């Protein structure tokens, strides 16, 4: 095996060095790649590089000879079940972009005990695609629309749109209690913290700005189906903002209320009731790309049971 050198092109520019290595050194575990960076065995323009360094046009990356062990090479590919789930979940695809209705319980990428996620599965489904990268993320337990770029230039364009709040993102969430009438805007900065080895978020002035707008769609006894629009995309944003206003997402085992979650298991809430239902992306031709994803059957079944319960109690639910 020999040392390799890569000259970064305009299409490759803007990505982190660790992401480049994960693609170039296929089969090498993430832990080993980060160890190569820490030891300085990977060089950028002759010097050491931090894993978060974003590559620029013309950068020269030195890749050391790395032998993949039999154990690493034998790591199984994504299973047929995951691949079938992802193939069925694709709702839009063109030459630069892919959108899917991510099933709940599927991580967006491997790691932290998860061998394969959406991105690894899509790369197995589209082996001819030279580039597939997540545009944004969804929590593992959240279902709904997820964007994957098929070109680095498209990824940069979409990241710029997201930063400038030009992408409309809509979610549906079942919240505890009765949400007030009209839009309920929440502007509360969010900061990360560690609890029992788990990364969580909390409202804190020292955090990053975050804005969500909640609006009641349908009311039930003890719960409100709400549409949520977010202007920022912080980790766990909707879940923390919902708790902050006293209406946690039902089924949320991190930020929700245990007794409320327990009560709503009677109508079939077995997981986080949060779904990314809509995305609107601007396009150069002036016609926005509108994407939608219907509620998964398990969440739709919950709403049906809640409506039946309302009728049994002689109370008409209202749409607002």
**Percentages of the chain per state (helix, strand, coil), in multiples of 5:** 25, 30, 45
Element (H, E) at 299: helix 297-312
Distance CA 191, CA 255 (A): 14
Distance CA 23, CA 127 (A): 12
- Going by C-alpha positions, the residue among 295, 297, 289 that lies closest to residue 92 is 289
The SS3 of residue 252 is coil
Backbone angles phi, psi at 140, to 5 degrees: -55, -40
Element (H, E) at 258: helix 258-264
| Rg, the chain, Cα only | 22
Give the tokens for residue 146. Answer: 């997820």
**Complete DSSP assignment for 9-62:** -TTTTTSBHHHHHHHHTTT--HHHHHHHHHTT-SEETTB---TTPBP-TT-EEE
**Complete DSSP assignment for 113-150:** TBS--HHHHHHHH-TT-S--EESS---TT-EEEEEEES
Provide the 8-state DSSP code for 71: H
139 catalytic residue (yes or no):
yes
Distance CA 27, CA 162 (A): 32
- CA 76 vs CA 27, 29, 36, 115, 123: distances in Å: 10, 13, 24, 9, 14
- Spot the catalytic one: 50, 59, 72, 139: 139
Catalytic residues, by residue number, are 139
């Amino acid at each position: 095996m020999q040392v390799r050198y890569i000259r970064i092109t305009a299409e490759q520019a803007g990505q982190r060095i660790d992401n480049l290595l994960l693609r170039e050194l296929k089969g090498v575990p993430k832990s080993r790649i980060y160890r190569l960076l820490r030891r300085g065995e990977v060089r950028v323009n002759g010097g050491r590089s931090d894993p978060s360094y974003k590559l620029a046009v013309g950068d020269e990356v030195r890749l050391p000879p790395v032998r993949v062990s039999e154990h690493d090479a034998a790591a199984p590919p994504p299973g047929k079940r995951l691949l079938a789930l992802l193939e069925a979940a694709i709702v839009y695809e063109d030459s630069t972009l892919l959108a899917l209705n991510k099933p709940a319980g599927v991580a967006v990428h491997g790691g932290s005990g998860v061998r394969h996620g959406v991105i690894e599965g899509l790369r197995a489904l589209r082996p001819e695609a030279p580039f597939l990268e997540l545009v944004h993320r969804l929590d593992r337990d959240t279902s709904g629309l997820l964007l994957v770029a098929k070109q680095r230039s498209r990824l940069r364009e979409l990241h710029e749109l997201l930063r400038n709040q030009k992408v409309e993102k809509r979610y549906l969430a079942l919240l505890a209690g009765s949400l007030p009438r009209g839009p309920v805007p929440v502007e509360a900065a969010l900061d990360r913290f560690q609890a029992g080895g788990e990364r969580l978020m909390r409202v804190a002035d020292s955090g990053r700005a975050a804005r969500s707008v909640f609006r009641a769609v349908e009311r039930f006894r003890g719960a409100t189906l709400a549409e949520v629009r977010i202007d920022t995309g912080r980790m766990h944003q909707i879940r923390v903002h919902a708790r902050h206003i006293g209406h946690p997402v039902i089924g949320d085992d991190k930020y929700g209320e245990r007794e409320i979650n327990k009560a709503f298991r009677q109508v079939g809430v077995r997981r986080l009731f949060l779904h990314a239902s809509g995305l609107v992306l601007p396009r150069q031709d002036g016609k926005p790309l509108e994407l939608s994803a219907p509620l998964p059957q398990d969440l739709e079944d919950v709403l049906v049971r809640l409506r039946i319960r309302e009728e049994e109690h002689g109370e008409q639910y209202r749409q607002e």
